[in-house]
Amino acid sequence: MSAIIITQAAPPDERTHLLVSSSPPSLDSQTAIRPDQPDSARNLLNLANLHRLAPLRESISTFRFVLTCIGIWSANFVFAFQASAIPTLAPSIGSGFKQAEFSTYLGSAFTLCNTGVIPVYGILMETLGRRFAMLTACAFFGLGTIFCALSPSMGILIAARAFAGLGGGGLLTVSSVIVTDLVPLRERGVFQGIMMSIFGAGTMLGGPCAGWLADRFGWPFAFWVQLPVVLFCATVVASVAPEAPLPPTHQTVFSGLKSIDWLGTFTLLGSVSSLLLGFSFHTSFLDPWSSPRVWGTLLFSIVLGCLFVWVEHQVERPVIPIEVLKTGHVKAVMLGGFFLSISYQAYLFQIPAYFAVILDTSTAEAGVILSVCGGLGLASGSLIAGQYIRHGGAYKWLGVISLIPGITSTLIAASWKPDWPWWAYYATVLPGSLGYSVFLSVTLVALIASCDSKLMPKATALLYMIRSLGVTLGVSIGGSIQLGALTSALKSRLSSLPIEKSNEIINSVLHSKASIRHLSPPYDQLALDAYASSLSTVFLFSFVVSLCTWSTSFFIKDIELHGHGGKRVGSGDEEEE
């Protein structure tokens, strides 16, 4: 039997919020490791034998706890809202500034900065505290949103979106860490489910609301409406949210910022930015792989990546917590999250194109399937996973099983036909979204369970960065594969035409999907077949990567979870906590 020892701090007094105890409340798992146990069992018990802090919910009022959760989850809502609003606003904004060719950068500029700065927020949470990190994220995001609403040109608007991305990188990461501080580990999945439900609501409302505001009042109002939510979040964090259980390592902003590994931060940001720009030049500007602008930026990304790895091994406080990655369990969690994001986003991003191009639906109709299936899948999947883990379920096998619907969905999507009934498309996409959401919750709980309270913020930030990088790479790589497959399929189907005529049709289709419907028979059908074939190629790519995700899930360990209710996972005994 394993015993659980909760170390209680001194009773709170009038100085509780001003002075932080050097020995905060902790919840340790002390389990004897016998020499005759197999290596796998010994490793599992070592992972469980970590110093954990008692959840803050036990020391604050219910009202304060609920208000804190509402405040930080409002950040998740506004992040999801803007993410789904930008694709809706981009065409009208681009047309208004007469620079439609740069519309895609409204999303990519935000994503570049968002991905690159996530590890910095892990450092900020450790050095200056959760409150400072969250308020910093709100400040960058809020100011960036104001700059977006006031932008007089496309260039300034893109720069404002990048500035907002500096805050977006912290909104999700810091809020996730604060929730982990508040609740027992066993209940962490339940609260992740609630958060994903709110995130799903923001995703579903962002596009329609932004479109309505843009039509009625002009596109700047779609940015102005986000500000009250950001201000509410900042107000709650500043005035209501409890102090972190671990005191910040630095007491002044200057000393905290000085301790950050800025060289590692900028080399990481430069490597990620160059990588994504290289793919963007190929997919958005249709530059060939042989273009110096493509291979040059990709090569520069590799050089900066190598420099980043070297820097991280030299500095005292690296951006990436190298010690976290020493166990196979954590490596499996990180790789699983990375592969899952690539597979799911490459697959999901091409679904609207199938409906808009192959089935000739409107853009709004094409987006409905993502709103319905994505929103329902995210919300229900996380809630299911949270309740299962809360009641003592083994999350490793939950993760393994949850990936099967996604693997099946990508394979079925590769065989889609235009004459299928609409319910069949929904039946294909929804299970994949459900499984995706379940596995996200599993990887988060599995990571937190393997880290002590000191490493948890940086480890969480690392997981969020890897996921964000996977999302962006999934879209970029999927777009590159689709572009190459479409070009090859068009050349094959139009080989009987003179080379000038063939190239004219190919260039027309590559630059505008709508041009397919304006081609004369039989070339319109040939182009449609080629486009469908290219999408199937992307779906098959997603299928292969999803198999990689599935293989990593078998290396995730069931680690003992502490909390309320049910039996503890991974300990092998049935003692109630």
Q: 3-state DSSP call for residue 51?
A: strand
Residue 490 Rama label (left phi>0; alpha psi -120 to 50; beta):
alpha
The strand order across the sheet containing 3-7 reads 3-7, 26-30, 51-53
Position of tokens 């899948």? 377
Question: What distance in Å separates the CA atoms of residue 48 and residue 31, rounded to the nearest whole number?
Answer: 8
What are the tokens at 83? 């993410």
Q: What contacts 515, CB < 8 A, 6 or more positions away? A: 508, 509
Interaxial angle between packed helices 456-493 and 154-182, expressed in degrees from 0 to 180 and rounded to the nearest 10: 130
CA neighbours closer than 13 Å in the CB half-sphere of residue 36: 0
CA angle (433 as vertex; 427, 438 as ends), nearest 5: 130
Residue 385 phi/psi, 5° resolution? Answer: -60, -40
Assess contact for 170 and 131: CB atoms under 8 A.
no
CA angle (206 as vertex; 199, 367 as ends), nearest 5: 100
Exposed, middle or buried, 499 (CB in 10 Å: 0-12/13-18/19+)? Answer: exposed
Q: 3-state DSSP call for residue 41?
A: helix
Closest C-alpha to 261, from 460, 123, 461: 123
Interaxial angle between packed helices 395-413 and 328-353, expressed in degrees from 0 to 180 and rounded to the nearest 10: 30
Question: What distance in Å separates the CA atoms of residue 305 and residue 299, rounded to the nearest whole number?
Answer: 10
Question: What distance in Å separates the CA atoms of residue 197 and residue 70, rounded to the nearest whole number?
Answer: 13
Q: Return the CATH number of 320-570, one of 3.40.50.620, 3.20.20.70, 1.20.1250.20, 1.25.40.20.
A: 1.20.1250.20
Closest C-alpha to 438, from 478, 409, 398: 398
CATH architecture of 56-258: Up-down Bundle (1.20)
Closest C-alpha to 458, from 283, 284, 260: 260
Question: What distance in Å separates the CA atoms of residue 323 and residue 303, rounded to the nearest whole number?
Answer: 23
> Which pLDDT does position 48 carry in this prediction?
46
Closest C-alpha to 226, from 445, 363, 75, 64: 75
Q: What contacts 175, CB < 8 A, 6 or more positions away? A: 72, 73, 75, 76, 134, 195
CA neighbours closer than 13 Å in the CB half-sphere of residue 220: 11
Q: 3-state DSSP call for residue 141?
A: helix
Assess contact for 342 and 469: CB atoms under 8 A.
no
Which residues in the chain land under pLDDT 70? 1-52, 100-101, 250-251, 284, 363-364, 367, 393, 562-577
Question: What distance in Å separates the CA atoms of residue 296 and residue 290, rounded to the nearest whole number?
Answer: 9
Exposed, middle or buried, 106 (CB in 10 Å: 0-12/13-18/19+)? Answer: buried
Closest C-alpha to 345, from 276, 446, 288, 418: 276
> Which pLDDT does position 32 carry in this prediction?
36
> Which pLDDT does position 56 carry in this prediction?
85
> Which pLDDT does position 223 carry in this prediction?
96
Assess contact for 376 and 435: CB atoms under 8 A.
no
> Which pLDDT does position 534 carry in this prediction?
93
Would you kindly state where each structural domain of the chain is located, as residue ranges? Answer: 56-258, 261-316, 320-570
Assess contact for 370 and 196: CB atoms under 8 A.
no
Helices and strands (DSSP H and E) totals, the chain: 18, 3
Residue 561 Rama label (left phi>0; alpha psi -120 to 50; beta):
beta
320-570 matches 56-258 in CATH topology: yes
Q: Name the DSSP letter for residue 554.
A: T
Q: Name the DSSP letter for residue 98.
A: T
Residue 29 phi/psi, 5° resolution? Answer: -100, 115
Question: What distance in Å separates the CA atoms of residue 477 and residue 115, rounded to the nearest whole number?
Answer: 17
Q: What contacts 286, CB < 8 A, 6 or more positions away? A: 483, 510, 511
Closest C-alpha to 173, from 464, 439, 451: 464
> Could you write out the DSSP letters of every residue in 453-511?
TTTHHHHHHHHHHHHHHHHHHHHHHHHHHHHHHHHHHHHHHTTTS-HHHHHHHHHHHHH
What are the tokens at 107? 């999303």
